[in-house]
Each structure stands twice: as structure tokens, then as C-alpha cells.
Structure 1
Amino acid sequence: MNNIEELFNKFLDCINCLQEALNVSFGEALTETFDNLENNQIKVELGAPDKETVAKLSKKYADLHYDELTQQVKVQLFTYLTLKAINEDGLDPNQMPTPPIIATIIAMFMQKLLPDKKQVIVDPAIGSGNLLFSIINQLKKANHSRSNFQLFGIDNDEEMLNFADISAHLNKIDIELFCQDALTPWLFAKPDIVVSDIPIGYYPDDDNAANFATEAEKGHSFAHFLFIEQIIKSLRPDGYAFLVVPQAILSGKGGSDFMPWLSEKVYLRAIIELPDNLFQNKFNQKSVLVFQNHGEQAKNCEVFLTKLDSFKNEEDLIKLNVKLNEWYTKNIH
């Protein structure tokens, strides 16, 4: 058994112990466990957990040697445990963490396209924060640990925001989090950049959907169409969006009405079809969509189009980067 597996099982034991004592969901016990460990104190409210459980947990926590773990290991363990919480608590599949390789692709494009100045970035469907935090860590690494971002996150699920809060703390990232329906007006200034793995499915609030041009003619509207429209409305002029979207909306029947509408509203910059083997079946396949809002600095140009066959080794990323450099030199620089 390798070290990370051993640690995972020890953390799992701590979480299960606390979950049983407090009679809460796995996710709640997970966030409280990391909260206890980060604060080096077991939180007791109204006598729970009881003294016996506190004594038991104190021994289990000591056995973790938490303060000796690296930041990277803490983040890795929390990510694995978040995955388990989403499965265990029967949460929405939209809330599953985005594969890390997708964050790498988005970070490559952001490094090319974004000006070197303070940027306000929002993820309006932040979930556990995996996608945004992974991107920010990569941008900081490429920028000699310098962070030039003001971050905001939105989600309508308080438990997911608790995960994002702990994850931000473990990643040493400052972010303001808002619990709201992201399809209602955002509670902060227009961002320069939106990064998001767009939720897929139907949006239940037909009254609010009526405020959108992408509203369905009959029945519930598609949340993914409404989300993209909301992002366009909320972005500042010249602002960029880097989105993970269902592949079906970009081509074929699904995109026959939507793509012409989108092409009128923004300047498309890139569509990257992700490898088929990243997804369990063809109906779940996704692409990365990059666009820029209309504005004084924005202009039309050739769209970067590519389909990625795999990410089995570093060469696949190098090839993508070469293509990106060629496109950038020809169209943007």
C-alpha cells in the first residue's frame, strides 16, 4: 500500500468517526475534519461530539501527523475525499471535480491571451473549486509565484461552497464565495475573465429563464445555454471566457441554433475537442470553448480549432502548445 492510500484510509477513518458522532453527511464530516485539523482544535457545539469521541479523534488526528504533510499531499487527499463525498452523499454529477488535464489546457490559453495586469476572475459554477484553483496554481507557477488575480466563486449548493472554502485554504488562495443562483445578477463588479465547467441539464426556474434569449420555446430551458448567455451579459467588454461545455452544443443538431447566436454575441477564439477517453460515454463528451466579449480592444480572427486524441504523454501537450503558438502569432500578436 503506498503512502497516499494509507493516509487516505486514515483520513477516512477520522471522517467516519466524526460523521457517526454528529449524525451528518459524509461531506459535512469531511469539511469539519479538515477545519479541525487546520485549526488544531476539535470543534464542539452543544456537547457534540461528546468527550469520548473527542478523545478518540484526538488520537486519530495525532496519528495523521497532519502538520508534517506537504501542501500538495493535503490538497490531493482533500480532492480524493471530495470525490468520495459527492458519490457517498448522492450529489449532482455536475459537481464532480473537473479532470486536472483540462485545467492545464485552459491555463495554456490564458497565459497566451491575458494581458499582464490585475485580473478579476469568477467561476459561476465553482463546485469544489478544483478547476479554478488548479488553473490559478499553474498560472502562479508560470509567473514566478506572483498572483495577479482577484477571485470570486458562485454556487447554489452550500456544501460545495464549504468544499471550495477548505480547498482554497489548503491551496493558499484568496477567494470570495457567494451562495446564489448564478443565473441571477452577480453581486460584484463585472469580471475580466470567467472560467467554468458549465452545468448540464434543465433549469427549473421558468420565470427567470424568460429573461434570457436562449430560453426554450416549451418546457424547461437548458441550463448550459442560459449559463453561457449569463456569462456574456456579466463579462466586461473585451473580457474572456474559458469554458468546459458539452460537445453537443458546438456541433450537429444541438448547436444548429445556438452557435450562430453565440457567434453574433462574442468573438470565438478557440474550440478544443477533448479526448474521448476522458469521458465514460460519448454523450458526456466535452470541449473547451474560449471566447472574447465585444469591446474596443477585441476583433474577429480565425478560430483555433483542434481535436485532441489523447493525453497519454507530455508530447501531446507540447504539440498543442506548438499549434497554439502558431495560431497566436498569426492571429493575435
Structure 2
Amino acid sequence: MDKIENLFNKFIDCVELLQNALNVSFSEALTETFDNLENEQIKVELGAPDKETVVQLSEKYQQLHYEDLSQKAKVQIFTFLTLKAINEDDLDPNQMPTPPVISTIIAMFMQKLLPDQGLTIIDPAIGSGNLLFSVVNQLKNANHSKADFNLFGIDNDEDMLNFADINAHLNGLEIELFNQDALTPWFCSEPDVVVSDLPIGYYPIDENAENFVTKAEKGHSFAHLLFIEQIIKNLAQGGYAFLVVPKDILSGKTGSDFMPWLSEKVYLRAIIELPDNAFQNKFNQKSVLVFQNHGKNAKSSEVFLTKLDTLKKEEDLIKLNVKLNEWYTKNIH
């Protein structure tokens, strides 16, 4: 960890030097830094950065020994730097990378539920891509779907899409990215799978929200509810969604209105309540929601329900996997 921390600080020096030379945000300088490192060439446009800065950057880049770093180390450092960029540039907290353990839980369910064939997967709120890429890498390592995936991502923030583009490259994955409001028509039609950590909060465009059943009766609508409806509209027949959602949409006042509607639209497969201590405050509590669209011989089953008290030990995931196997054997297989 000391080695990574030392490297992390060296990378920050490189990013901040370029940031000051170009007079841009930390996010833009971070994207440019990794472009330079991956292309083994410092990009100069209209004389910026100047010759003196180029010399300084060259020296600092050499100290990184970038070409000798493992893929895992590059991804880890880039993730840390993305977190710093979100804080430095005061970006939307919804863009924070999803904790790795959540991607492991989703990958466990995907390995059980998805057919072992080529799949089109989309994340309509991709952010920096950590959740999608982590899940796909775990499926690839398990040789699921013969490692044949068509990946798509949507985000309305160009900086985040730049991060996702670099992140995909560092992970050795190909993806098609779209800069758009995900609550407008998708260019990727009928994906087999949707994987997403949904943005929480209010959707500001009331005129567009009028196109959704889950809109609020008055005032701004909840973006996460609209997202789920949009996912159902676009998902292929019999397709699956694996979503990280606010815990309160599954229970309480919101849940009492929303869940009956959702249960009519799709087949609920699983609700995994994540540990309270995994989030900074009780208002950020989240769950993993898994459902299957109607069609293609899909049928209802008993819903896998569980609350995880902790995810700090490997045994916790092993216990979850045992429960998953029992449920799968009884209800799906």
C-alpha cells in the first residue's frame, strides 16, 4: 500500500503541473495526463503546455515507470485520482465510484442468472465506469458468456465519460459511450442486461418527466424512479437489470407506491439490503435490486431477500453465495 500511496502522490504532481500549465480543471488535466502516458507522448496544442513544462512533465513521467506498472495498479491509481477529481472539482456526488464489494455481489448474481452466451450490457449512469468494468472483469475471469460482451455507457457529464473511456482502456475493454440525458431515447436498443448504480435525487426537467408514469404528482420527480422506468422500457424481453438503488424506494411511503407498480411491470428476482455501515449516513443507505423483464419464457419466482450486516470479511460473501445457490436451485434451475 505504501508503494501505491507513493505513486499516487507522484501522479498528483503530474496532474497538478499540467492543470496549472493549461489552466483547466483537475478532471481535464487527469484525462490529459493518462492520454499522454498511454500514447507515450505529451500533447501540445497552440503552444500549451509550454516547452519548459513539457521538459518538467517528461522528467516526472519517467519517475512513474508507467510502462512497468501492472494493469491492476494503473486502474487502482486512476480510481483514486478520479475520487480526488470529483472532490477537487466539486462534481456531483452521484458520480462517486461504486464500492468494489458491490460489484462482486452483482457479479455473483449475474453468473447465476445470465445465459452463457454473448450479451449486450449497458450502464445508463456510467460515471467513471468502475461498477460496469469491475463486474465485466469478474465475469470474464469466470469465463462467463465466453467473455463475449458488447458494452455501452450513457452519461450526461462529459468529464465522467472521458474518465470512463480511459478506465475502459486501462481495463482492456471496448465500450461505446454516449453523452446524453439517459431519460431521453437510447441509441442502444434492447440490451440484454442493465447494470447501474442509479443517481439519487430530483430530475430537473419536468417537461420530460411528464413522459413517465413514475413522475411526481407535483414538483420535481425522483430521478432514480424515472431511471428504473426507462430501463424497463428499453430492456430486451426477458432481459435482466442489476441496480444499486436507494433503500427507501423498496419500503416506506415511496416503496408503498412504487413497489406494487414495479411488481406488475417485471419479475422481481432479488433484493439485497446492503450493510448500514457501508454508507456515511442513513440517508445514503442502498440496496441491490435485481429484476427480469417479461417475455422470452420468463416467469415469476420466489424473491431472494436478504440483509447483509457486514461485508468486511470474505466469509460474508461466501455465506451470501451459499444462500444464492440454495435459492437458485429451488426457484430458477
Where on the TM-score scale, by shorter chain, does this alignment land: which range?
over 0.9
d(CA) in 1 for partners of 2:272, 2:32: 38
Residue 153 of structure 1 aligns to a residue whose secondary structure is strand
1:110 paired to 2:110: yes
User: What amino acid is the match of 2:205?
Assistant: D
Residue identity matched to 2:54? V
**d(CA) in 2 for partners of 1:296, 1:70:** 42
For normalisation by structure 1, the TM-score amounts to: 0.99
Which residue does the alignment assign to 1:222? 222
* Partner residue in 2 for 1:204: 204
Instruction: Please state whether the residue corresponding to 2:185 is helix, strand or coil.
Output: coil
> What is the CA–CA distance in structure 2 between the aligned matches of 1:65 and 1:25, rounded to whole Å?
25
Cα distance between partner residues in 2 of 1:180 and 1:167: 19
Counterpart CA distance in 1 for 2:162 and 2:146 is: 26
Classify the secondary structure of the residue corresponding to 2:268: strand
Per-residue deviation at 1:189? 2.2
Q: Does 2:193 match 1:190? A: no
Counterparts of 1:266-277 in structure 2, within 5 Å, are 266-277=266-277
Show the counterpart of 2:90.
90
Structure 2 unaligned blocks of 5 or more: none
**Which amino acid in structure 1 is aligned with residue 193 of structure 2?**
I
> Post-superposition shift, 1:289?
0.0
Q: What is the Cα deviation at residue 281 of structure 1?
A: 0.8
Q: Which amino acid aligns with 1:204?
A: P
The aligned amino acid for 2:325 is: N
Report 1:24-43 matches (<5 A): 24-43=24-43
RMSD: 1.0
Match of residue 140 from structure 2: 140
Q: Provide closer, same or farther for how the CA distance between residues 192 and 40 of structure 1 changes in structure 2, counting only shifts above 3 A.
A: same
Deviations 1:286-318 (A, max 9, x none): 000000000032000100000000012111001
Contact kept, 8 Å, 2:116 with 2:144, in 1: the verdict is no
Structure 2 counterpart of 1:320: 320
1:248 and 1:201 map into 2 onto residues whose CA distance is 12
* Cα distance in structure 1, aligned partners of 2:316 and 2:200: 28
Task: Please list the CA deviations of residues 146-182 of structure 1 after superposition, one character each: whole Å capped at 9, or x if unmatched.
Answer: 4221000000000000000000000000100000000
For 1:255, the equivalent position in structure 2 comes to 255
Secondary structure of residue in 1 paired with 2:199 = coil
Q: Please, which moves more after superposition, 35-44 or 136-145? A: 136-145
Aligned partners of 2:152, 2:182: CA distance in 1, in Å?
12
Pairwise CA distance, 1:188: 1.9
Count of aligned pairs between the two proteins: 333
| Counterpart residue type for residue 118 of structure 1 | G
Partner SS, residue 216 of structure 1: coil
Q: Is the 8 A contact 2:119 2:193 kept in 1?
A: yes
Structure 2 residue aligned with 1:151: 151
Question: C-alpha deviations, 1:90-147, integer Å up to 9, x for none?
Answer: 0000000000000000000000000011100000000000000000010011118942
Whole-Å separation in 2 of the counterparts to 1:312 and 1:155: 31
2:74 aligns with: 74
* Paired AA for residue 15 in structure 1: V
Report the equivalent of 2:50. 50
Q: Supply the distance in 1 between the matched residues of 2:312 and 2:289 (Cα, whole angstroms).
A: 22
Separation in 1 of the partners of 2:204 and 2:99? 27
Cα offset, 1:253, TM superposition: 1.2
3-state DSSP of counterpart to 1:13: helix
Q: After alignment, is 144-153 or 223-232 more displaced?
A: 144-153
Question: Is contact 2:100–2:134 with CA below 8 Å preserved after alignment?
Answer: yes
Asked if structure 1 preserves the Cα contact closer than 8 Å seen for 2:153 and 2:177, the reply is: yes
SS in 1 for 2:288: strand
C-alpha distance in 1 between matches for 2:76 and 2:286: 24
The question of 1:131 aligning with 2:154 is answered no
Q: Tell me if structure 1 keeps the 8 A contact 2:116–2:146.
A: no
Tell me the secondary structure at the aligned position of residue 147 of structure 2.
coil
SS at match of 2:241: strand
CA offsets 1:241-268 (integer angstroms, 9 cap, x no match)? 0000000000111201000000000000
Separation of aligned partners in 2, 1:261 and 1:162: 36
Residue 233 of structure 1 deviates from its aligned partner by: 0.1
- Which residue identity lines up with residue 177 of structure 2 in the other structure? L
CA contact (8 A) 2:310 2:316 kept: yes
Secondary structure of the structure 1 residue equivalent to 2:163: helix
Gaps of 5+ in 1: none
Aligned sequence identity (%): 79
| Alignment match, 1:302 | 302
Q: What is the one-letter code of the residue matched to 1:274?
A: L
Task: Report whether the alignment pairs 1:119 with 2:153.
Answer: no
